[in-house]
Amino acid sequence: MELIEFWTACSTNGIVLTHEQVQLFERFHKDLVYWNEKVNLISRKDIQNIFERHFLHSLSILKYYTPKEKAVVLDIGTGGGFPGIPLKIARQDLHCTLVDSIAKKVQTTSMFAKHLELRNISVIRSRVEELSLDASKKLQFDMITARAVAPLLSLVSWTLPYLKKDGNFVFLKGGNLDEEILELKRKYPQTSTEVIPIEMRGYPMFYDEEKKIVIVDFVR
């Protein structure tokens, strides 16, 4: 996929990007290709497919879920900045905190954000299960997201203290999730879970590979 094809794919699926935003994706793509040779951020077999496998996949969230204006977002296990940085480029009103446990990835992803001149975005080094944010800021996140990081129960258990009462978990997952949902429901019966197969017009691979968006609502 080339840049123009990526832009068209986004528009076709209701994700509207300005010329300036597309330029940011182009810059991010170049940075990611260059630095992935030095720091293992994404699989090398995906290096020719960054626009669809990483950018479009991350942005698929916006096809099915609309964060509120100026929402505060936590992206756990972000790796090279996914889905956090693509979401931030597309929705620059968001306030994003990206977390990963590997120092090299955190340093590189932080550099990406600075090079893209994105405001209201920070990258923190921490294991998700040991995440410790300022106590005065707990329950500050409107949306907590992750891409292929851990089972649903672990993701929710690790970060529940940081979710606002009216917030949502919005995860990118794959495969059969029946058992994960049952485990989550047993531990947290007050959750409701919506599983949405990703169907991006013109790109059936997401559906064929059983890529899904999982929205978890926690009633308290």
CATH classification at residue 16:
3.40.50.150
Nearest residue to 214 via CA among 164, 148, 166, 165: 148
Buried b (16+ CB within 10 A) or exposed e, 52-78: bbbbbbbbbbbbbeebeeebbbbbbbb
User: pLDDT at position 183, please?
Assistant: 97
- Residue 196, beta-bridge partner list: 213
pLDDT per residue of the chain (220 residues) written in tens, 0 to 9? 899 999 999 999 999 999 999 999 999 999 999 999 888 888 887 888 999 999 999 999 999 999 999 999 999 999 999 999 999 999 999 999 999 999 999 999 999 999 999 999 999 998 877 776 654 455 589 999 999 889 999 999 999 989 999 999 999 999 999 999 999 999 999 999 999 999 999 999 999 999 999 999 987 7
Return the DSSP state at 203: B
Report which residue type is found at 8: T
User: pLDDT at position 137, please?
Assistant: 52
- Count how many domains the chain has: 1
**pTM, to two decimals:** 0.94
The domain in which residue 209 lies consists of 3-218
Structure tokens at 150: 């851990």
Helices (H), the chain: 3-12, 19-36, 50, 57-64, 84-90, 103-115, 152-159, 178-187, 205-208
User: pLDDT at position 138, please?
Assistant: 54
